[in-house]
């Protein structure tokens, strides 16, 4: 065989070789990921632990810090225990790239989840890091997050408020009112932020934080004192980190021994920012 023939043969052999001959590794990793989903569905804590490396690193949906090691991972997931959790799943998209005995896996999965309020549907966007040890692939790290589709659905759907959050919301609602009547400027600035917009009874203009603070100062100068404040009826709608509070109100003022009672309805907007409810807007009407 002459030199030209050898070159042609070698070129043909290279072009015929598959660009990525790692089908067995792909199948092994995909089966491993399936086993993790099944461990969650079957609430099999032993299988869940066995599918993750001792030095696992990564994030789950609710993570606010890095999860370090299998023990932290099991604690963060609840060890797949409890009455709630994943009920089913299916893959929407799946891909892997390899670099030696390491693999980067990206996929989108639809999952069914049992929650205290019933069954829900989520779409997850996941990136897994796999390494091959003793001839077997194992998950060494992961970043699990909600797909934008599910994020948008959650933010636009009414959410139940936990009792602690509801309690803190109603406490802040009352604190805003009492701070205004007491002319507590520091508290008002904390709870009524700079982006506040208000509609007050009998006013043709929209108010803002500056107007709220000034109104509290003027009320203080009038010599009137709040002696009673009640919210006979309250309804709450919560969407994402925002809550809309619909209330009827009654308050009683005292001045020079005389008492005046006023009542009406109010719709108030609250937003949960940096671990604290704030009140950036309301629409109040007066019934007397």
The CATH architecture assigned to 163-286 reads Roll (3.10)
Say how many C-beta atoms besides its own lie within 10 A of residue 121's C-beta: 11
Compute the residue count for the chain: 288
Choose which CATH entry (3.40.50.720, 3.40.50.2300, 3.10.450.50, 1.25.40.10) describes domain 3-156: 3.10.450.50
Q: Where are the domains of the chain?
A: 3-156, 163-286
Asked whether the beta carbons of 212 and 180 are under 8 A apart, the reply is yes
Mean pLDDT of 61-81: 92
Q: How confident is the model at residue 152 (pLDDT cuts 50, 70, 90)?
A: confident
Q: By the 8 A CB rule, do 188 and 179 touch?
A: yes
The answer to whether 75 and 68 have CB atoms below 8 angstroms apart is no
**Which segment of 54-58, 114-118, 224-228, 276-280 scores lowest on mean pLDDT?**
114-118
Q: What is the pLDDT of residue 46?
A: 95
Q: What is the pLDDT of residue 116?
A: 82
Which pLDDT band holds residue 157 (cuts at 50, 70, 90)? confident
Read off the pLDDT of residues 238-262 as tens digits, 9 standing for 90 and up: 999 999 999 999 999 999 999 999 9
Q: Do domains 3-156 and 163-286 have the same CATH topology?
A: yes
pLDDT of residue 20: 57
Indicate the Cα dihedral angle 259, 260, 264, 267, nearest 10°. -70
Q: Please indicate whether residue 222 or residue 3 has the higher confidence score (pLDDT).
A: 222
Q: Please, are residues 36 and 46 in contact by the beta-carbon 8 Å criterion? A: no
Residue entry with tokens 């803002």? 208
């Amino acid at each position: 065989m002459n030199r030209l023939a050898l070159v042609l043969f070698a070129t043909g052999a290279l072009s015929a070789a598959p660009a990525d001959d790692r089908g067995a590794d792909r199948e092994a990793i995909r089966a491993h990921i399936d086993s993790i989903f099944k461990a969650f569905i079957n609430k099999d804590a032993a299988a869940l632990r066995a599918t993750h490396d001792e030095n696992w690193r990564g994030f789950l949906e609710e993570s606010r810090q890095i999860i370090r090691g299998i023990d932290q991972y099991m604690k963060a997931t609840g060890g797949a225990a409890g009455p709630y959790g994943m009920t089913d799943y299916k893959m929407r998209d799946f891909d892997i790239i390899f670099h030696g005995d390491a693999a980067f896996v990206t996929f989108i999965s639809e999952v069914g989840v049992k929650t205290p309020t019933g069954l829900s549907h989520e779409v997850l966007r996941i990136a897994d890091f796999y390494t091959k040890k003793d001839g077997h692939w194992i998950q060494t790290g992961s970043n699990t997050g909600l797909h934008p589709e599910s994020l948008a659905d959650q933010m636009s759907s009414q959410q139940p408020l936990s009792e602690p959050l509801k309690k803190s919301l109603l406490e802040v609602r009352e604190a805003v009112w009492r701070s205004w009547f007491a002319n507590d400027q520091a508290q008002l600035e904390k709870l009524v932020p700079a982006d506040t917009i208000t509609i007050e009874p009998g006013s043709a203009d929209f108010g803002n934080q500056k107007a709220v603070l000034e109104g509290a100062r003027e009320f203080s100068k009038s010599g009137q004192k709040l002696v009673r404040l009640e919210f006979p009826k309250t309804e709450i709608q919560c969407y994402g980190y925002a809550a809309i509070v619909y209330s009827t109100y009654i308050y009683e003022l005292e001045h020079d021994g005389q008492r005046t009672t006023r009542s009406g309805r109010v719709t108030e907007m609250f937003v949960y920012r940096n671990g604290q409810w704030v009140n950036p807007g309301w629409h109040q009407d007066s019934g007397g």
